[in-house]
A and B are shown apart, each in its own frame.
Chain A
Amino acid sequence: MNKIAKLFITFISALTLTLTSITSSFAKVEGDMIVLGSAISLTGKYSSNGVHTQNGYNMAVDRINSMGGVKVGGKSYKFEIIYYDDESNPKRAAQLAERLIKQDGVHYMLGPYSSGLTKAIAPVTEKYKIPMVEANGASRSLFTKGYKYLFAVLSPANQYLEVAIDLAVEKNGGKGVKIAQAFEQDAFSQDVRLGILDAAKRTGSKIIIDDKLPKELNDMAATLAKVKATKPDVLVVSGHTKGALTAIRQISEMKVDVPMLAMTHCDAAKLSKQHGKKSEYALCASQWHKNLSYKDKFFGGGKKYDKDFKKEFGYAPPYQSAESSAALLVFKDAFERANSFDRDKVRDALKATDMQTFYGNIKFGPGGQNVAKPMILFQVRCKGDTCENKVVAPTKWASDKFFHPIPKWSERG
């Protein structure tokens, strides 16, 4: 009896498997739907940014579909996305990518949130030759592996804070500066560090403190005490939201005076809200800001995107949402230029992308990274108790002047 039951179960499961694989082989384009797949962090430690990413994707899908969809071969198609929750876990993300491709028959992928998860998925999409446009994996190592099906709409991590060093040198009359830096030991932050090393070499600057913060650490008192003792011209910190919040907390508590402070993840950390005036004058790298003057016909410009996004989701879009929306625009453009659903033709079309979106210009370099868009820097500025992020570099979009040097703590109210 037991044997028969087992046999029966095997038979049934084999049958369902065959059936799903038959139906799924048509799943890439069903009727007038272009089905995209994405594993995304809806739970786990990346869940807040995962949701920002998903909202960005959804907003773009709705917008493109309501404005005529994607025209391929004279017919109009609509986008649809299959989402799975990767639980912020790289292993799970890789499994889900396989599932999307093999079971759901997805032929085009959108990226997950974070460099780590994108790194986990990229080998899978590459193996099955599935074009993936990703918007939230900035680590340089993603673009040095020779991936052919990976395209990133964002600037790579090493570019995040290079501009800040240039700015410091400029303020120093073109002479090299003394840099103190503290970076978390993860792929992304270490890539940011490499960018600083390049910039230091280029400008003849000297790195006097080069601390690598352990991931589990949320105390950087030792680094800051060293900064106090050595008096660098610029302090650079990158350690995701935890790093940004810890740095501001301890810099203000230990009264560390530096002329310039450059960081990443300020907006994700809601720095100006959580730390208020203590975060004033911090310089932050960002992929996007609503004040930039880029335009496209779907979202208009940054300010309109900001307004529409607020209306739909009830909060101001962080850059994670904006870049995710841009990924869909890139896909639409590529499908239309390829005028086909052939994966390799779509890939070639993606490769040849050269367009402007509300998020910025997009053109892919040999490794798949976006080479057409510079990073921007904003500075936290406060009026009374309300603090805001003001774009200060590059000068083309600067809404405010870069405030330098940061006043000493003894002079700050």
Chain B
Amino acid sequence: MDFLIFQVPMLMVQASLDGILLGILFALIAYGMALQWGVMNIINIAQGDLVILGGYIAYTMYLAGIHPAWGVIVSPIIMYFVGWALYKLVINKVVDRDLFISILATFGIAIVFQQLMNFIFGADVVVAQSEYGTTMLFDNSVTLPNSKIFSAFVSLAYAVALVIYMKKSKLGRAIRATAQNARAAKILGVDTEKVYAATFGINAALCGIAGALISITLTLHPYVGLPYTVRSFMIVIVAGLGNLPAVAVSGMGLGLFEEFADYILGTEFRIGAVFMLLVFILVYRRFKLSKKREYLK
């Protein structure tokens, strides 16, 4: 236990801002996961690897002399088609099947992606430089990298755009209809096959944006995808499916909780603390549900 954070109040501000900024970025990845989980009932283990691939797209641009921030536009476009192709090649064969099969399939995709990225981009850890500088608050005692602020804003902007798109556009309505009841949607003339492909593509595009942001805020490596999958999985579990505001709040909440756990319990318990919280939330939910009469097992 360490109470440094209570002795130095500025650390509290720093921790909160760090947690929230990182949380928003994770929420974006989690939203993609929640979307396709809700629509297709597929838990995508390759989520983190799609993120990393998106990051490598931005990194490649950086190597070619283009500012990596443009990755937040280029990467989702490329990733949409990657996601779409993945759906046509693999996912359409496991959609509507047992959840276990889709987990296995996406796990396989994750391995293939890791090896491919390793083959193409090499096994070195890489970073792209945004040269965005730093925002200093409170007489330099709180410092925020502008790249993190930038990524939080981009994530928010895309999230808002997506919410509007889902509400207003034809495809968005079709996606929501399919999520509610695929069979009924089909009867009413929705081409669910197309909806599925588009959903998977949108998810991959969201991963692409997050990846491009990660290339300028954190580090890239072909094998660091899994932590992102696990993190977004957790956010979705806490928030529930198909509820974007909840995903955003849960992303930020987990980010905050993690930062504070780091300061108080120690860095080594940071991830452990988040998992403890997850167990607690799941048990609590079950307890609450069991009190409701209408709940059927």
- Contact surface of A with B, Cβ cutoff 8 Å: 43-49, 182, 185, 211-214, 216-223, 225-226, 228-230, 240-242, 245-246, 249-250, 253-256, 269-270, 274-276
Give chain A nearest CB distance to B39 CB in angstroms. Answer: 28
Q: Is B60 an interface residue (CB 8 A)?
A: no
Contact with A along B130-159 (1 / 0, CB 8 A): 000010100011010101100000000000
> Are the C-beta atoms of A211 and B18 separated by less than 8 Å?
no
Contact with A along B216-231 (1 / 0, CB 8 A): 0011011110110010
- Tell which of A49, A216, A253 touches B143, judged by Cβ atoms closer than 8 Å: A253
> Inside 8 A of B124's CB, which chain A residues have their CB?
48, 241, 269-270
Give chain B nearest CB distance to A218 CB in angstroms. Answer: 5
- Tell which of B224, B230, B259, B268 touches A212, judged by Cβ atoms closer than 8 Å: B268
A219–B218 Cα gap in the complex (Å)? 7
- Tell which of B218, B259, B266, B268 touches A218, judged by Cβ atoms closer than 8 Å: B218
Give chain B nearest CB distance to A38 CB in angstroms. Answer: 18
> Inside 8 A of B230's CB, which chain A residues have their CB?
216
Partner-binding segment picked from B4-12, B69-77, B80-88, B205-213: B4-12
A sample of 9 more A-B contacts (CB under 8 A), given A245-B219, A256-B143, is A44-B223, A45-B221, A211-B267, A211-B268, A217-B227, A217-B270, A249-B127, A249-B218, A274-B126
Give chain B nearest CB distance to A214 CB in angstroms. Answer: 5
> Are the C-beta atoms of B267 and A223 separated by less than 8 Å?
yes
> Inside 8 A of A256's CB, which chain B residues have their CB?
143
Give chain A nearest CB distance to B193 CB in angstroms. Answer: 36
Q: Is B14 an interface residue (CB 8 A)?
A: yes
Interface centre among A218, A220, A222, A250 (most CB of B within 10 A): A222
A214-B267 CB under 8 A given contacts A43-B115, A219-B22, A270-B124: yes
> Are the C-beta atoms of B267 and A213 separated by less than 8 Å?
yes
What are 30 A-B pairs with beta-carbon distances under 8 A? A43-B115, A43-B119, A44-B123, A45-B221, A47-B122, A212-B266, A214-B271, A221-B14, A221-B18, A221-B259, A222-B18, A222-B259, A222-B263, A225-B18, A226-B4, A229-B8, A241-B124, A242-B224, A245-B126, A249-B218, A254-B134, A255-B134, A255-B136, A255-B140, A256-B143, A269-B124, A270-B124, A274-B126, A275-B127, A276-B129
Give chain B nearest CB distance to A407 CB in angstroms. Answer: 15
A308–B86 Cα gap in the complex (Å)? 46
Q: Is B290 an interface residue (CB 8 A)?
A: no
A255–B8 Cα gap in the complex (Å)? 18
Sorted nearest first, the 6 A-B pairs with minimum C-beta distance are A253-B145, A216-B227, A212-B268, A222-B262, A211-B267, A241-B125
Cβ-closest chain A residue relative to B133: A253
> Inside 8 A of A254's CB, which chain B residues have their CB?
134, 143, 145
> Inside 8 A of A275's CB, which chain B residues have their CB?
127, 129
> Are the C-beta atoms of A274 and B127 separated by less than 8 Å?
yes
> Inside 8 A of A49's CB, which chain B residues have their CB?
123
Contact with A along B8-44 (1 / 0, CB 8 A): 1011001100100010000000000000000000000
Give chain B nearest CB distance to A274 CB in angstroms. Answer: 6
Q: Is B118 an interface residue (CB 8 A)?
A: yes
A249-B271 CB under 8 A given contacts A211-B266, A270-B124: no
Give chain B nearest CB distance to A303 CB in angstroms. Answer: 25
> Inside 8 A of A250's CB, which chain B residues have their CB?
145
> Are the C-beta atoms of A182 and B267 separated by less than 8 Å?
yes
A242-B125 CB under 8 A given contacts A218-B218, A222-B259: yes
